[in-house]
Chains A and B, each alone.
Chain A
Amino acid sequence: MAERRRKLAPPSEPSRRWLKPIGVAGLCLSFAWSFSGAVRAEESDDGGATPAAAARTVDYGRDIRSILSDKCFACHGPDDGTRKGKLRLDNRRDATAPAASGESAIVPGDIENSELIWRITTDDVADRMPPAKTGKPLTADEIQKLTTWIEEGAEYAGHWAFNPPVRPDAPEVSRSEWARNPIDAWVLKKLEAEGLSPSPEADKTTLIRRLSLDLIGLPPTIAEVDAFLADTRDDAYDRLVDRLLASPHYGERWGRIWLDAARYADSDGYEKDKPRAVHFYRDWVVGALNRDLPYDQFIIDQIAGDLLPNPSQDQLVATGFLRNSMINEEGGVDPEQFRMEAMFDRMDAIGKSVLGLTIQCAQCHTHKFDPISHEEYYRMFALLNNANEASAAVYSPDEEMKRADLIRSIHEAEAKLRSDHPDWLDRMRRWEEAERQRGPDWRIVRTDTDANIGSGQKHAMLEDGSILASGYAPTLHEDRFTALEPVPSVSAVRLELLNDPSLPVSGPGRSFKGLFALTEFHVEVAPADKPNERREVRIVKATADANPPETELEPIFDDRSKRRRVTGPIEFAIDGKDETAWGIDVGPGRRNVPRNAVFVLEEPVSFPSGVILSFRLTQRHGGWNSDDNQNNNLGRFRFGATDAPGAEADPVPPRVRQILAIAPEDRTPAQTNAVFSCFRTTVPEWSEVNDQIEALWRQHPEGSSQLILTKRDQPRETHLLQRGDFLSPGEVVEPGVPAFLNPLPDGKPANRLTFAEWLVARDSPTTARALVNRVWQAYFGTGFVPSSEDLGTQSELPSHPELLDWLAVETMDAGWSLKHLHRLIVTSATYRQASATTPELLEKDPYNRLLARGPRQRLDAEIVRDVGLAASGLLDRTMGGASVYPPAPAFLFQPPASYGPKQWPEATGSAKYRRALYTFRYRSIPYPMLQAFDAPNGDFACVRRARSNTPLQALALLNEPVSLDCARALAARVLTEGGATDAERLVYAFRRCLSRPPTAEETDILLALLARRSQRFASGEADPNELNGESVELPPSASPVQLASWTVLSRVLLNLDETITKE
């Protein structure tokens, strides 16, 4: 130490050297407040060696943490894997203890003996910190701050965002008459500190347009504007807010923002990027927001809705949040690798969207900056890693009602049957007795699974001897499965088809409905001692428990062979024909159940050494395109063998067979009914009622499916993964949460539901802040903390910390009501300010973080589209349902633009003009117009959209077909209902787009355009009919020249900056 100190002489020199005035002037304005007490280098230089800062205070959270975090923690932070010199600077105890060198980095109050100061000021390159190779030298200002901080005692403080928010008292301000609610008090306080004043309130037309765009994502109609202008009541504004918050379009607007965070898309991503059925989740989000589902419940349902008691369909659908991860089913994938990728994605999504924390780093190593360790990451991971990635049949409310009616009718018919036949119970018992005797005993045959790797489909052997197919799904293929052990002799074999949560709607097949088609089934035998002498054995008889009539394949399975391909009874699997296959579709409501088929061999086979069986499954009833959901493959299946004669398929479903094993007196009424439902079908004289019930089943609604999570009976073990690599599992970790956040609630099981409750616990330090910050960002362009995805130690300090905390606490106290939060913000005086700015204000606060004016931002992509549709009157306001395919260039969905050919069945009629929220989203081929305006594609969670301003946007708005449709429709509408003169029509058209009437100057410019265009169209230099096209009808009493001229004018209006901007 003494040696080194000498290099420092003379003692006063270093401070002088630090204080060289090098470019620290004009600290970013947006943070000017936080440095109001900071030292400016030039000033302190005048003040001599002991800086004027001595009289002022440096604050750890405000001034120091970001320096240490950015420049030091990578090597001297929480991660002990990369820590250098055993020095840790992120807490006071370690930073003041002797490091490897024996010196203490920090000696509070003593810069002379603080090694850190010497290290950051020495000219000796070898010793200087941070090392030059990091490329992160400290600035003079930073050195100054660190020095002052140590001089003042090196007090550490917890990161502001890691302490739960506490409701602060609103500050006193001098212009209190301006403030409408506490938001304004804090905003005003800051403005006053900066010597700024708020802007005047925006005019009413601007306000209603701003409010409508913000709350429902649509511009107000002219009638709505007029009504608001005419409403002179004191609470006219509040009534408007109430009306908009009650609009079902509110859920569409704010739902879209959450769907960004939920990385919602209608396709799988990666190479195949196949369509997936997830729109029920989208509609759930919209509906949940519309009914103001409290945010804590909103999150719990999405993380663990399936674990709630008796979960509703909605609560199951909500878990689609976690299923929005991408799925890779390209040929040759290891499904476990991409399951882990999906798990990481879920962690990332929860981190960004709920916690407002970046936890991704800790997937590979202990976080360099935030106090989350590698192990803690996997402890949280373990809480999530216990679910089945399932899909469920789901029904719209109408379908749900129909379904309930139907099932009631069936129960009534069955009840009547029982009351008409009082001896039913005795007869059923006799039937049960006979069924219990049914043989034969089957021996389960385990087979190899990897002989079929060439088809790209992966097969896994499960504990019960069944085989589960996953990964890439070929559409036309044949697999051979060869037994691992011989059987002594065999007369018949059985193929069982089983459900599995990983299959579509639980299977038992892999088709989009969870079905399959078995084109041919072959059995081969070989002596165990000569396995290569394999020969096929003829099958003479096949039986199955489902034998639907011959049915043509659905269009999705078209193989372009132009052959008539069918499914039907089990015989189709042994008829040697490539066109026929055994299918099991008995209609919606009953199709996704286990099935079995039995194949009797021509003659029993036995060899002295035993028989090695091989099963060949020909599956050639899929479609032509294996990059689409066109497979018709078996999903989970199991082979069996018997040497008993006369074997047949078991007609009694496994579910009923399980009940038969229960003593009749121990069964529940539901179990007895289930047995009866099976029994009644075997009574010939009840055929009329049975037929009636069959007819009822045929009315069952088709429904849809939705990716969800379901509870996993056997929780997975979670290992810490070295460098995040699933092939390098480390020790097993127990479920848990990071120590720096709130603890898991006491006495609750460590599962996903508890995790969900923990996320939204009242003492979670970041959840409510992240929510409020994100909502604020949507209104004002930037959150209190600009990095909405990260409130951790690397984030900037909030612009208005107390206000952020107040809003967070207020929202929680209001029962996590989002509508309450919205109402608070939009009724504030801050929000209601005019948004015009001045060069002076821009210079002082270019990003409006001080809020001396109202927000002015280009609208989100979807709203840009919707504004055009609404202004032109084309908008179809239908809510919900399957995503739609508005016009798009067809080549985008074909190779080589797309990896594989994709479906884009272009919408017809008004469905072309649904809100952009409902546009089908392929991750790999984003809808061009939305992509141009910065809509994220759903590859990962996005809580902060970029907002660019590019020529491609101009091209989209000018030339894209729907944009032009809007211009034409607006023109036709103007000519129909816009008034008698061009001047009136112009006001009408202008107000439809911008809500306000044009100024005199604007009127002159636009009418001049109209005149020029009319003249040119009339002169025949341009053909009006070519522009008018076919999509709109010529309004009565209008000429083609008028329509074309107004189309040009409308197109101009729809391309104005103001039209696509919230002012």
Chain B
Amino acid sequence: MNCQDRLYRRAEPGLVSRRWFLEQCGVGLGAMALRDLFGAEAFAASPAAARGENPLAPKTPHHAPKAKRVLFLFMAGGPSHLEMFDNKPQLARFDGSLPPPELLKGYRSAFINPNSKLLGPKFKFAKHGESGTELSELLPHMSRVIDDVAVIKGMSTDSFNHAPGQIMMSTGSMIFGRPSMGAWTCYGLGSESQDLPGFVVFSTGKKGPSGGNSNWGSGFLPTVYQGVQFRVGGDPVLYLSNPKGIDQDIQRDSLETVRQLDEIRLAKMGDPEIATRINSYEMAFRMQMTAPEVMDVAREPQHVLDLYGAEPGKPSFANTCLLARRLLEKGVRFVEIFHEAWDQHGNLVGDLKVNCAETDRACAALIQDLKQRGMLDDTLVVWGGEFGRTPMVQGGNDGRDHHPNAFTMWAAGGGIKPGISYGETDDLGFSVASGKVHVHDLHATMLHLLGFDHTKLTYRFQGRDFRLTDVEGRVVKELLA
């Protein structure tokens, strides 16, 4: 809700009209004031009004979208593809030997000397479902729903350090200051919720994301598109609760008074920004009403709680997944859960067991639950981290270093072809052998499913058109249903 931002979007001039501002800024309470101010005729339908110029109003993308909303499960730290998704018997065979020198040509690693011994996979793999997708024993629950999932084994990225790698995954660039996926999505599609932000972010792991808020920033896009952090415990949104001593009666009376006074000012000054502010206070009040209810997982029946492994009042990844579903139901466009737990330089076996015990059930539950509710068809779920891990050992025999050349992600729903594995790595899980999907390609595919030509969802800044995929990106048709 940012009238001035339109200035920089080279909006079609025809839209700039009195009716535009009434439409954009004159919804809800403000509308009442404007009705008094300019008379009801101002609200007669007009083409400009019909176009809906509220920056968060739902918008129509380039083509019919398959996905209407996105849930991104950001497994920050770099999960080991070799222990979870990418079965490499040859790596087991060569455990303890040095990697072939030609593999290491020009290879840089973060911590280890690249010429370190190979480390065989630590967990057993088996085929699951009708698709026969291979998964390790760490993922018993995902194994149940794997026929709904596309496993992407040929992921690659540009950075082997966390902060740039995560910023790359979040914004399509290692340089800070670009808009995040969620911001682009809301910029393109708007929001379908009147009471909740269009882009909601959670952080549930041991640490926060590397690079912090920039992972869900709006970059040069208007700030209305940036992610809003929700919390699992306490106030879901900062300053959502009334302070001590302010009860609902005081709050309502105060907001009503603010509105009356703002309307008087609006009548005197005629600035549509005042109407926008009136609206923002109204939405804040609605959010105060709605958010605590949406965030109360205790309202879920026991069998749903059990499905996720969620316990009301106990913050967890499982709880957060359930909350994410509740938010998506309420029209939130993009939910992202950062779970930073996957940086296993050491204690690979122990940590992965813990991490998978904490996340596997809830991830599977999400797919099952969304499917049962008929939401999986138009909800795109994406799971993955900023990079994978080296086939070479770090430390004794229980750690792996950062590895950008090949890693695994998965996606489900929202127009993703179910029950497939796409892409392959070489025998050691070091490089992508076929079906390479760069981060830019993933973004292009996500945007495609959301109804966009990724080369055309652009924003003019600093004299050029920017996009999520920079100057790269290929829609991975093989992943489309």
Contact = CB atoms under 8 A, between A and B. Distances in A.
B210 A330 contact: yes
Given A947-B2, A948-B222, A1027-B246, A836 B269 contact: yes
Contact of A332 (B160, B177, B464): B160
B176 A789 contact: no
A775 to B, nearest CB: 18
A900 B21 CA distance: 44
B110 interface: yes
Interface string A888-922: 01010001111110000000000000000000001
A795 interface: yes
B59 to A, nearest CB: 17
B16 A940 contact: no
Interface string A8-45: 00000000000000010111111000000000000000
A978 interface: no
B380 to A, nearest CB: 24
B46 interface: no
Contacts of A964: 243
B35 to A, nearest CB: 13
Contact of A949 (B38, B113, B270, B276): B276
Nearest to B113: A453
Interface residues on A, range: 35 or more
Interface string B47-77: 0000000000000000000000000000000
Contacts of A959: 239-243, 246
B272 interface: yes
B155 interface: no
A949 B463 contact: no
Contacts of A28: 10-11, 13, 16
Contact of A896 (B111, B204, B244): B204
Given A271-B210, A358-B462, A946-B2, A899 B340 contact: yes
B250 A1048 contact: yes
B38 A839 contact: yes
A223 B2 CA distance: 35
Interface string A1020-1058: 011110111100000000000000100010011001111
B307 interface: no
A789 B462 contact: yes
Main secondary structure of the interface of A (DSSP, over half): loop
Interface in B310-366: 338, 340, 345
A899 B270 CA distance: 45
A1057 B265 contact: yes
B237 interface: yes
A899 B210 contact: yes
Contacts of B111: 331-332, 453-454, 456
A1009 B253 contact: yes
Contacts of B369: none
B207 A899 contact: yes
Interface in A944-970: 946-956, 958-961, 964
A899 B276 contact: no
A839 B160 contact: no
Nearest to B205: A896
Nearest to B4: A947
Nearest to A955: B239
Interface stretch (A91-99, A642-650, A840-848): A840-848
A330 B281 CA distance: 41
A500 interface: no
Interface stretch (B85-93, B138-146, B224-232, B408-416): B224-232
Contacts of A1009: 253-254, 257
B245 A837 contact: no
B264 A1001 contact: yes
A847 B241 CA distance: 36
Contacts of A27: 13
Contacts of B212: 273, 898-899, 922-925
B254 to A, nearest CB: 5
A899 B340 CA distance: 9
Given A341-B175, A897-B203, A948-B1, A937 B244 contact: no
B455 interface: yes
Given A328-B161, A842-B21, A948-B224, A794 B269 contact: no
Interface in B157-189: 160-164, 175-177
A839 B270 contact: yes
Contacts of A110: none
A949 B253 contact: no
B162 A450 contact: no
A450 B115 CA distance: 12
Contacts of A954: 277, 280-281, 283-285
Contacts of A271: 161-163, 210-211
Interface in B189-214: 197, 203-214
A361 interface: yes
B88 to A, nearest CB: 23
B95 interface: no
A792 interface: yes
A451 B5 CA distance: 54
A800 interface: no
Given A326-B176, A786-B8, A794 B464 contact: yes
Interface in B95-152: 108-113
Contacts of B234: 891
Contacts of A956: 238-239
B223 A334 contact: no
Interface centre among B11, B163, B210, B280 (most CB of A within 10 A): B163
Contact of A1022 (B113, B203, B247): B247
B258 A955 contact: no
A361 B470 CA distance: 12
B240 A955 contact: yes
Given A29-B16, A959-B239, A1028-B245, A847 B464 contact: no
A857 B2 CA distance: 12
B284 A958 contact: yes
A454, A839, A934, A950 — most chain B CB neighbours (10 Å): A950
B309 to A, nearest CB: 18
A1052 B254 contact: yes
A700 interface: no
B257 A1057 contact: no
Nearest to A794: B463
B177 A940 contact: yes
B402 A951 contact: no
Contact of A895 (B161, B207, B224, B249): B207
Interface in A324-375: 326, 328, 330-334, 341, 344, 352, 358, 360-361, 368-370
The 7 A-B residue pairs with the shortest CB-CB distance in the complex, in nearest-first order: A924-B212, A332-B110, A1027-B245, A794-B463, A271-B210, A28-B13, A954-B284
8 contacts: A26-B13, A135-B453, A450-B113, A949-B277, A952-B197, A1002-B261, A1056-B261, A1058-B262
Interface of B: 1-5, 7-8, 10-11, 13-14, 16-18, 20-21, 38, 108-113, 160-164, 175-177, 197, 203-214, 217-218, 222-224, 228-229, 231, 234, 237-247, 249-251, 253-254, 257-258, 260-262, 264-265, 268-274, 276-278, 280-281, 283-285, 287-288, 338, 340, 345, 394-395, 401-402, 453, 455-456, 462-464
Interface of A: 23, 25-30, 133, 135, 269-271, 273, 326, 328, 330-334, 341, 344, 352, 358, 360-361, 368-370, 450, 453-454, 456, 781-782, 786-787, 789-790, 792-795, 835-840, 842-843, 846-847, 856-858, 889, 891, 895-900, 922-926, 928, 931, 934, 937, 939-940, 946-956, 958-961, 964, 999, 1001-1002, 1005-1006, 1009, 1012-1013, 1016, 1021-1024, 1026-1029, 1044, 1048, 1051-1052, 1055-1058, 1061, 1063
Given A789-B462, A940-B177, A954-B281, 10 more contacts: A333-B161, A454-B394, A781-B4, A895-B205, A925-B212, A951-B280, A953-B280, A959-B242, A1055-B254, A1058-B265
